[in-house]
Amino acid sequence: MNIPRIELARLPTPLQPLDRLSEETGGPRIWIKRDDLTDTIASGNKLRKLEFTVARALSEGADLLITCGGIQSNHCRSTAMVAAKLGLKCHLILRGSPPAEADGNLLLDRILGAGISYVSSESYQDMDKCINDVASQYPELSAYFIPVGASDETGLWGYIECCAELKEDFARNNIEPQYIVSATGSGGTQGGLIIGSALYDLPSETIAFNVCDNEDYFRDKITTDFRLWEERYHTPVKTSNLSINVIDGYVGPGYAKATQPVFDTINRVAQLEGIVLDPVYTGKAFEAMLQEIHKGRFSGATDMVFIHTGGVYGNFPQRDQFGFQPDGNL
Ligand SMILES: Cc1ncc(COP(=O)(O)O)c(C=O)c1O
């Protein structure tokens, strides 16, 4: 379909087998789709979505992008970078108080020149008011609001089109993976993969591990995005026939809070494969996937693909959790 899109991400990203890790783990061969390599500063899954979301914003005449997220939001950082690249103003509505030091993504937001409003969790609930307050600071600009994670009916296209890329990856490597696995945080990556797998006839079932909220929340969110997508874009895909598979139970202490096994998994994957995950999304989901492999959920599968959705900067503010001593040893 001819959906308005601008080129932002470096595509296609590589699909790589994790041979050492798979051998050590036992079970299916694990492949990793390197969407952490979509760019450097704007790296990660958000860039695929922003190709469609920002194209829509531009077509509606926007010159101010407003978006929102946590203090360490990867999505906000990617949006700030894209806005700078395109000569647009960006203003971020971040949930929480300004930390004593700007670290990780927040430091990058500031380097990239994004305007920032810090709002309490309570005020954040009334997002319409937050947006109006921000827009009124820029009376000469035309604002476009990108929802959290760029997860809406337009952002879905990012991972729908990623499935076309995966189809080629599978053909090139002569594999038919039974599963595609990702973290789910605002539902757009998972939703896009579900529709894209149907549209491009992939052999794989999409499974996502929620890193916040719960299974019901994501089913509702994704179902709503699907309905809006069908209403806006008329394609042959009937989303009511598609399964939304969320594996709940791995949120741990809460969003952006991880237990020691997640940090151990980040270290293990880095040291075995030279690939760095993060404690908020990919490390949590990867650790969950390894536990489910161990429990036998994927037994019988020959190949599975983990989508590395980025997030490396989220490691820096959590440096103390890795348990390294000042001399660099564990
Ligand atoms: C690094 C990373 N991985 C995964 C996700 C989850 O993707 P989605 O928001 O599309 O559910 C996010 C954002 O929420 C993210 O920043």
State the DSSP string of 77-97: HHHHHHHHHHT-EEEEEEESP
Residue 121 is among the residues annotated as catalytic for this protein: no
Q: Supply the residue whose CA is at minimum distance from atom 9 of ligand 1.
A: 186
Asked if residue 184 has its Cβ within 6 Å of ligand 1, the reply is yes
CATH topology for the 15-44+152-322 domain: Rossmann fold (3.40.50)
192 Cα nearest atom in ligand 1: 10
Question: Which CATH number describes the domain made up of 46-150?
Answer: 3.40.50.1100
pLDDT at 272 over 70: yes
- Domain residue limits, the chain: 15-44+152-322, 46-150
Asked if residue 204 has its Cβ within 6 Å of ligand 1, the reply is no
Neighbours of 26 (CB within 10 A): 9
189 Cα nearest atom in ligand 1: 10
pLDDT at 56 over 90: yes
Exactly one of 73, 78, 186, 204 is catalytic; name it.
73
Instruction: Identify the CA nearest to 309 among candidates 288, 280, 330.
Output: 280
pLDDT value for 205? 98
Question: pLDDT of 125-180, one tens digit each?
Answer: 999 999 999 999 999 999 999 999 999 999 999 999 999 999 999 999 999 999 99
**15-44+152-322 shares its CATH topology with 46-150:** yes
Q: Supply the residue whose CA is at minimum distance from atom 14 of ligand 1.
A: 185
pLDDT at 328 over 90: no
Question: pLDDT of 215-245, one tens digit each?
Answer: 999 999 999 999 999 999 999 999 999 999 9
pLDDT value for 1? 72
CA of residue 200 to ligand 1 center, whole Å? 22
Partners of 30 in the beta sheet? 304
In 15-170, DSSP assigns E strands to: 15-17, 29-34, 64-70, 89-95, 115-119, 143-146
